[in-house]
Each structure stands twice: as C-alpha cells, then as structure tokens.
Amino acid sequence: MANQEEKNLIEILEDNVPIDMAKYIKFVQSPHCGATATFAGTTRDTFEGKTVIELRYEAYVPMAIRCLKSICSAARLAWKIDSAAVAHRLGPVPVGDASVFVAVSAVHREDALDACKYVIDEIKASVPIWKKEVYEGGEIWKENSEFLERRKGGCCGVKVKVGDCGAAAAAATAEGCDRARIGE
C-alpha cells in the first residue's frame, strides 16, 4: 500500500498556467472509491457592484506547500479519504478561470464531501497565498472571510494558543505549519 504522501498531489502553478482539473480528478480516482468530491474556485466578473477584470495571486511557495500538505494530513485524520489533490494558481487569473482546485476521493460520499469542504476552507483560512482583485478603475488586496474569522479580536494584544486544536493541530505542527487559534 502506498504511503499517505504518495496519495496527495499538491501543486502551486506558476503565472499563466491553467489548472487541468481532469489531471487532479484522475489522480484521486480509484476502483475502490465510490466518491470523488471536487471544488473549483473561479474568478467571477463582479464583486459588490464592481466589474472584476482579473484576480492576481502571490504566495510564499515553500510555506504554502507545507501548509497544503498539513491540511491534507489533517483531513486524513478526520475522514476516511483515499487520495487528495490540490492545485492553486499564481499570477493573473482572468474571469471564468479557476484559481484553486481540490479533489478528494473516499469509499463513501460523506467522507469525500466533508473532507473537500474542510480542505478548501483551511486553504482560504491559513495558507500564505494572497489575492488582489483588479477592477475597472482600481485594485485591492483582499483578505478571505475564513482568515478574518480566525483573527476575530485583532492581531495585537490577544491571547493566541498554538497546538490546542487536537489532532489537526498536531498534524499541522508536525508538518511545520503552526495554525493558531485565538483565545479569550
């Protein structure tokens, strides 16, 4: 049997390299899995009444890859998944194109669906990939709502607990991607 590392495909794609969704779906498919769950995050054409031209992504790639591996490891601890694949683009992503793609396979759909949702939510909350929205007439760096939820109370003067999130935090810490939880 292959080890867990071999059952993950994690890629950060350079500028102007589109996501080949079929590649990631094919990677996770297996004859013994009855479910493959996917999520594709695409650039939409408007946001809060503004016309969006494109999104632009930057990342601290070595840490982003470590965090993505950690997220997949934590998903394995929580759900019975077979394989996971994650791809995220960097650089400009035009309207209609995918910037992030997640595929997860499992014997049963509940595990695949729940793990897929967990993976994308954790990517948006904790992976060092930054998004700039480019509009007609302007641009702005955006924080994901999942990240902001984790930061409630501000970044300064609050008590931060590291490694207090059970098995998921232990997996994250083991992979070198400490995720902090804001305390009281």
Binding residues for substrate, as ranges, are 108-109, 124, 131-133
In angstroms, the CA 99 to CA 18 distance is 8
Region of 132 (left: φ > 0; alpha: ψ -120 to 50; beta: rest) is: beta
For residue 93, the one-letter residue type is V
In angstroms, the CA 35 to CA 45 distance is 31
Place of tokens 């400490």: 178
Residues in the annotated binding site: 108-109, 124, 131-133
Contact (CB, 8 A) for 100 and 41: yes
Question: Could you count the other beta carbons within 10 Å of the beta carbon of residue 6?
Answer: 9
How distant, in Å, are the alpha carbons of 53, 131, 132, 146, 181 from that of 139? 9, 10, 7, 21, 30
